[in-house]
Homo-oligomer: A and B are copies of this chain.
Amino acid sequence: MTLASPVSAGRSGGRAARRAARAAPLANDLRAIQPGLQGGVLNVMSEADVLRIHHTALDALETIGLADAPASGIALLTSVGCTLGADGRLRFPRALVEDMLAKANRAVTLFSRDGKTDLDLQGPRVHYGTAGAAVHMVDVAGRHYRDSTVQDLHDAARICDVLDNLHFVQRPMVCRDIADNMEMDLNTIYACCAGTHKHVGTSFTDPAYVAPAIEMLHMIAGGEDNWRARPFVSNSNCFVVPPMKFATEACLVMEECIRAGMPVLLLSAGMAGATAPSTVAGAIVQAVAECLAGLVYVNALKPGHPAIFGTWPFGLDLRTGAMTGGSGEQALLSAGCAQMHRFYDLPGGAAAGIADSKLPDMQAGWEQMCSNVMAGLSGLNMVYEAAGMHASLLGFCHESLVLSDDLIGQALRCVRGIEVTEETMALDQIAEVCLGGPGHYLGTNQTLSRMQRDYVYPTLGDRTSPKEWVEKGKPDLLAKATARKELILSQRSSARFTPELDAELRQKFNIHLPA
C-alpha cells in the first residue's frame, strides 16, 4: 500500500510537483515539532504531594540550612534575613524564601549568538540539549573508551549546530588534553562557540577564570554592550555540595558571573542514596531546598537575575553504590523536579537522556527515551544531558548524539500532544469516506495536508519493510550515524568566527584547536 497510487489515480498531473514540494525544507512554523513546545500533561505527583514537598523543603531551609557559604555569601544572606548559627549554617526563614520567590525572574530567555535559536523558558516550554562532564569519548567502531579532547568538544558543538532537535549546547565533556584549568575553561568556551550559534552552557573551575572568559565573550559578541544585551553563554554552576552545603568556590564563581551579566544555572546534583535521601521524594525535597537557597542567593545579589532552577538529583545503583542515570527512578526524579518547577513557575532544568550503557545499543535507546520523553511530557524547560551521554555520564558519543536527533524528535512529537478540534476529530471526513466514498483515507486532502505538519519522520531511523531492508543491504544504524557525523564534520561550520576575530582571539588566548 502506498500513497502514490490513489493520489496519482485521481490527479496524475501534479505528482512530480507534489514530490518536489514534499522534499523541500519546511518553514519552522509548518514543521511538526519546534523548540519550546509546551509540556505539562504528565503529573507524577498529586497537587497535594507537590505542596508537601514545597513545605518540607522550606522546613529544611529553616531548621537545617546550608553550611560552607563563602564570607561574601554569609554577609549578603544575613543582610537579607538569614541567620548564621553557631554551627556555621545559614538558615532561611520561610518568609525570606517566599519574598525571593516573588522577585525571581520568570521571563528568562537564553540567547543564541545569531538570534535564530533563542530559548524562551516561560511556562512549561521544553528544550533539549547536551550537558555534563564526561571524561571519555566513545569510539563506536572500536568499541573503545578514550580520553575526551577539545577537538571532540568542538565536533560535538558542530554536530549539535545542525541537528534541529538539539536546542542548546552545554559543555558535555571535559577537554582532557588541556592540563591547565584556566586554559581548559577558556578553550571550552572557544570550542563550543566556534562550533555553534546555539546557546552555550559552561562552567568555571575557579572564580579567577571568569574575568578572562568574559573578556573573550565580549570579543565574540563585539563588545560588552552586545554581550550584556544578549548573553549567549550561561554558567552551569554547582553551587551546592549536597547534602545542604554551599560549594564555597562555586558560589564565588556565581557572584562573578552575575556581575558580568551571565545567566546562571543553579545546579544541585545530589545522588539519591549517597548525597541525597534514597527515596525519590526525599531527593526532590533536598534538591528543591538547595535550589531555593541558591535562588535566594542570586536574588539577594541581583533581583531578577536570570537563573535556572537546576534540581538535578541522580539515581544510584544501591547494590554497588555506583551512579546510574538510565533507570525508571531517574526518570521519576527528573519528572518530579519538572513538576516542582511548574509549581513555582520558575525556569527549570534537570538531567534526562542519560544512558548507563557503554555503547549506543538497544539499552541506550530505551534508557535515553524513558527519561527524555517523561521530562518533556512533564514540561521541563531545559532537558540537560539529553543526548550522547553513556556510561552513566562518563562517556560521550558523537554517533549517539547524531541518533538523538531522531530520538528527541519522537519525544518532542509526544510533547506536542493531541490536537482535538472539529477538524482533527474528522467526523465529516469519516462520513465522506464511509458513505459512498472510497472506503479509505489515502490521498484525501486532509491526509495530504497533514503529512508534514503532523508527522515527524526519522532521519536515520529505519522504517523499511524486511524486503526493502534486504534490498538496501541491511543498513546498520551505527554505520549510518557514523556516516552522518562524518558528513557534518566535513562541511564548513556556519558558526565559525571571522578570520579577523579568530586571529584576535588567538592572539589574546592560548587556543588549542588548530586554526
Complex Cα distance, B446 from A280, in Å, reads 12
Q: Which of A59, A362, A435, A470 has the most CB of B within 10 A?
A: A362
CB atoms of A440 and B52 under 8 A apart: no
CB atoms of B243 and A317 under 8 A apart: no
Of the candidates B322, B426, B434, B439, which one forms a contact with A463 in the assembled complex, judged by CB atoms under 8 Å apart? Answer: B322
Q: Which of A412-438 contact B (CB under 8 A)?
A: 412-414, 416-421, 423-427, 429-431, 433-435
Chain B residues with CB below 8 A from A277, complex form: 424, 426, 429-430, 441, 446-447
Tell me if A98 counts as interface (CB < 8 A to partner B): no
Chain B residues with CB below 8 A from A149, complex form: none
Minimal Cβ-Cβ distance residue in B for A33: B328
A interface list, Cβ under 8 A from B: 1-4, 22, 41-46, 49, 52-53, 56, 59-60, 63-64, 67, 87, 136, 143, 145, 243-245, 273-282, 284-286, 317-322, 324, 326-329, 331-332, 335-336, 356-370, 373-374, 377, 391-392, 394-395, 400, 403, 406-407, 409-414, 416-421, 423-427, 429-431, 433-435, 439-442, 444, 446-447, 450-451, 454-458, 460-466, 469-470, 474, 477-478
Task: Given A59-B427, A430-B286, decide whether A318 and B465 contact each other with a Cβ distance below 8 A.
Answer: no
Separation in Å of the A231 CB from the closest CB of chain B? 33
Known contacts A243-B434, A281-B426, then 20 further A-B pairs from the complex at CB < 8 Å, ordered by chain A residue: A41-B44, A53-B420, A143-B474, A145-B466, A274-B442, A278-B451, A280-B418, A280-B424, A280-B454, A281-B421, A317-B463, A318-B455, A327-B410, A328-B411, A329-B454, A362-B477, A363-B406, A366-B406, A369-B373, A394-B466
Chain B residues with CB below 8 A from A403, complex form: 362-363
Of the candidates B44, B373, B391, B418, which one forms a contact with A417 in the assembled complex, judged by CB atoms under 8 Å apart? Answer: B44
Chain B residues with CB below 8 A from A455, complex form: 317-318, 327, 329
Q: Report copies per complex.
A: 2
Chain B residues with CB below 8 A from A245, complex form: 434
